[in-house]
Chain A
Amino acid sequence: MAAETFEPEIVAFCCTYCAYAAADLAGSMRLRYPTNVKIVKIPCTGKLDSLYIMRAFEKGADGVYVAGCLEGQCHFLEGNINAKRRVKYLKKVLEEIGIGGERLEMYNMSAAMGPRFAEVANEFTARIRELGPSPLSATAKHKVPASSGTAAEQ
């Protein structure tokens, strides 16, 4: 796929207290940002389960980013710091798998930073466009088995 025509699928996990509100503001301000970015609202980036990120890639996302409050301003004090560590760890895992750690990023912004939200969405989309489709996406969009649980309980 030529780089100009490649439209990446990007999932943005946004904290409801900051980035999600910033996205709203970006909308009210009529700022343009790429439609590639699909926003998933979460109550705090601290709630972000590493599995959500893995599943997003497994289901064919070309890039994923996490957007939380500015450091020191987390509604739950340190959820964003915990998320930052998880993102750092998962970047390494993605590298090992062969997907590439640069397809995952963490950003920080406040609810008042609508323009920054649009800027991040543009920046990240450009990065993923540059990288091209996820090596998985040729085979991806596959089903993720819903087969977990405790054997003894079944």
Chain B
Amino acid sequence: MIIAEQKPLSEIEEMLADCHKVMVAGCGTCVTVCFAGGEKEVGLLASALRMARELKGQPLETLERTLHRQCEWEFVDPVKAELEGIDAILSLGCGVGVQALSERLPGVRVLPALNTKFMGLPLEQGVWSERCAGCGDCVLDLTGGICPIARCSKSLLNGPCGGSASGKCEISPDVDCGWQLIYDRLESLGRLDLMEEPIPPKDWSYARDGGPRRIVREDLRLGQ
């Protein structure tokens, strides 16, 4: 899922400086699970903003709404009925959510309350870790199910590099060496032979280097 983190309160306050009434919009999916932008976080942020603004003598009115998903039109559309008198929407969705609201609600200023960080998973309560870089051309079959793009600091396809020491990456003793993980995993699978096979250079045109990406499935489209 998508992992995000709330921006500092001061930064959010600055964005809203000229607003009198905002909709604080949460998202009920990814960012709810990572405790960054669900209904609870909407309540806390709205309360903090109201108090901070009250203290500055510029009260802020808030309307709290949490959409099931900010990134689907059917969940965005009901918001249209509630925009009367709203100066902006403060979105606690990921970057996709912020953009979906902007796209679907013309003329409405949509501001991000979060920094969208990565695609990853919760390792334990309160700890998240990156797992996928969305490179568009998955190589996990060759690397024991551990992503060299997301988990090697240099995204090496044929690692490890000389910086790997005692299982850790040279960038920090707190970071596992992605290629050590791959090696250990392949060893446990009895597939160390895969380490002998050089992985050919990657076609980065499937990744962001090819510009904004899009998928079209003719079999799923509706209508003519």
Contact = CB atoms under 8 A, between A and B. Distances in A.
Contacts of A151: 25, 65-67, 75, 78-79, 82
Contacts of A150: 28, 39, 65-68
Q: Is the interface of B mostly helix, strand, loop or mixed?
A: helix
A98 B52 contact: yes
Contacts of B48: 54, 93, 96-97
A58 B47 CA distance: 7
Q: Is the interface of A mostly helix, strand, loop or mixed?
A: loop
A102 to B, nearest CB: 16
Contacts of A98: 51-52, 55
B47 A54 contact: yes
A145 B78 contact: no
Q: Max chain A CB contacts within 10 Å: which of B8, B52, B54, B68?
A: B54
A152 B81 CA distance: 11
Contact of A145 (B44, B62, B74): B62
A109 B66 CA distance: 38
Interface in A25-83: 49-51, 54-55, 57-58
A99 interface: yes
A154 interface: yes
A3 interface: no
A98 B67 CA distance: 30
A147 to B, nearest CB: 5
B41 to A, nearest CB: 10
A144 B54 CA distance: 12
Contacts of B67: 150-152
Contacts of B47: 51, 54-55, 58, 144
Interface in B154-186: none
Interface string A122-154: 000000000000011001101011011111101
A136 B63 contact: no
B43 interface: yes
Contacts of A50: 40, 44
Nearest to B78: A151
Contacts of A149: 39, 64-66
Interface string B192-207: 0000000000000000
A148 B67 CA distance: 11
B78 A58 contact: no
Given A58-B51, A145-B61, A151-B67, 6 more contacts: A139-B59, A140-B54, A147-B62, A147-B63, A151-B65, A151-B75
21 contacts: A49-B40, A50-B44, A51-B43, A54-B48, A54-B51, A58-B47, A96-B8, A98-B52, A99-B51, A99-B55, A139-B59, A140-B54, A144-B50, A145-B61, A147-B64, A149-B66, A150-B28, A150-B67, A150-B68, A151-B25, A151-B67
